[in-house]
Structure 1
Amino acid sequence: MTEYYYTQNPDVLHEKTQWQFKLLSHNLTFNSDNGVFSKRTIDFGTRTLLDAVDLEDLKQGDVLDVGCGYGPIGLAIAKAIDDVHVDLVDVNLRALDLCKQNAAQNGIQNIEIWESDTYEAVSKKNYHTILSNPPVRAGKPVVTKILTGAFDHLQVGGSLLIVLQKKQGAPSAKKTMTQTFGNAEIILKQKGYYIIKSVKEKVVDAK
């Protein structure tokens, strides 16, 4: 059985490629391969999420990209705001290797990249922003874990921003985020993709 991009070691032959894409006003070079999500170009969901981010707000503190893949979200933010620290985590070792190559290729140093199954290897509790383009094919429990787990890793006033298609569970995700944070807002809709934002307004057990 072919292993998908959300597994640790995708069992597929290498087919390395390199291409450029403009994100947040910077032309970035990406190395890609089989066994990673959206291997040939930056997917529309990621582009929509980056369209929705407020760079001035992101300057306020550390950023975490959960399920970073080969790095388009976290690396684009780190390139655009060079005095903000960005952490990038994923379970896919091939994607993480590519992410490190892409950081080096684009001269991005204000980052740290490591393996983590959602938040399992994330110890920091004071992120200002957590972003994710969740691995829908990994199943609803994984997506839910990304949404609910963010609460404990955000500072008060910090935000979770996610992108999901309406047909892949965006309304359900918004409900889960509301239950977890006490709030959830759709801040952008494009071609069936929803960008949903929740803010950690106070320290409570919101589960």
Structure 2
Amino acid sequence: MNQQYFSSKPDSRRRPREVEVVLDGDRLSFTTDAGVFSPGRLDLGSATLLALAPPADAEARVLVDLGAGWGPLSVALARRHPTATVWAVETNDRARELCSANAQRHAPGRVRTVGPDNGPDEPIDLLWSNPPVRIGKDELYRLLDSWLDRLAPNGLAVLVMSKNLGGDSLHRHLEERGHPVERLGSKAGYRVLAVRPTNSIIGA
């Protein structure tokens, strides 16, 4: 794994390539590059999230892909929810550039690609994240906490994390903060968690 994927300005030599990803039965081509997360394929964590994530409420309008990388989850969100706006949040400049181009190819005009200090002003109806665990536990928790606090009252976050990289610890942390959390499933050691705002009840 390229350890610079969470850097804002990766300095690795560029090596663009095309990667095919099957999203909901359609085979799509994405441009990737060195210096970003999982440049050679859709990583197993993201694939597991895609397989287990429930659909957003029909009224959902504000969707976020936190840690968007080169954009497969952002594109999937846009294709699954054609009336919503997707905010692709990514710190890596190179990944942001790729995400923007890939989204324009597969979901034109539907995805807004921004840095971590930006994003929607409105409450978030649905957030997906395969978060950057390599930034360290404390920083990761601060990042996730800050975005989960922006969920709408009936909002939902779907997070995926490897058990070996702290998936179960994250589950406990979120419950300690008062979030209702449900494990949607596990595959190949990845946990997929459904997280509600602190003042809500799962299924409400």
- Do the structures match in fold with TM over 0.5? yes
Q: In the alignment, what sits opposite 2:155?
A: 158
**By how many angstroms is 1:133 displaced?**
0.5
Indicate conservation of the 8 Å contact 1:124/1:153, yes or no.
Answer: no
Instruction: Quote the RMSD (CA, aligned, Å).
Output: 1.9
Residues paired across the two proteins, number? 199
DSSP 3-state at the match of 1:40:
coil
User: Structure 2 stretches of 5 or more lacking a match?
Assistant: none
Match of 2:124 among 123, 127, 130: 127
| 1:181 and 1:199 in contact (8 A); partners too | no
Q: Aligned residue for 2:95?
A: 95
Instruction: Give the deviation of 1:127 after TM superposition.
Output: 0.7
The change in CA–CA distance for 1:104 and 1:123 in structure 2 (over 3 A counts) is closer
Q: CA deviation at 1:197?
A: 1.3
TM-score, length basis structure 2: 0.90
- Cα–Cα, structure 1 residues 176 and 125, in superposed 2: closer, same or farther, change >3 Å? farther
Indicate the SS of the match to 1:141: helix
Contact 2:32–2:70, Cα closer than 8 Å, also in 1 = yes
TM-score, normalised to structure 1, is 0.89
Q: What secondary structure, in the 3-state scheme, does the structure 2 residue paired with 1:49 have?
A: helix
| Bigger mean CA offset, 143-152 vs 16-25 | 143-152
1:137-176 to structure 2, matched below 5 A, reads 137-176=134-173
2:25 is matched with: 25
For 2:62 and 2:24, the matched residues in 1 are separated by 18
Alpha carbons of structure 1 residues 3 and 169: separation in structure 2 relative to 1, 3 Å:
closer
Name the CA distance, whole Å, in 2 between partners of 1:42 and 1:31. Answer: 12
Percent identical residues: 26
Q: CA deviation at 1:125?
A: 4.2
The CA deviation string for residues 62-86 of structure 1, in whole angstroms up to 9 with x for no partner, is 1111111111111111023211211
Pairwise mapping of residues 190-201 of structure 1 onto structure 2 (< 5 A)? 190-200=187-197
Who is 2:114 aligned against? 114
- Kindly provide the amino acid, as one letter, of the partner of residue 67 in structure 1: G
What CA distance in whole angstroms lies between the structure 2 residues aligned with 1:199 and 1:40? 33
Q: Name the CA shift for 1:133/1:56 in 2 (closer, same or farther; >3 Å).
A: closer
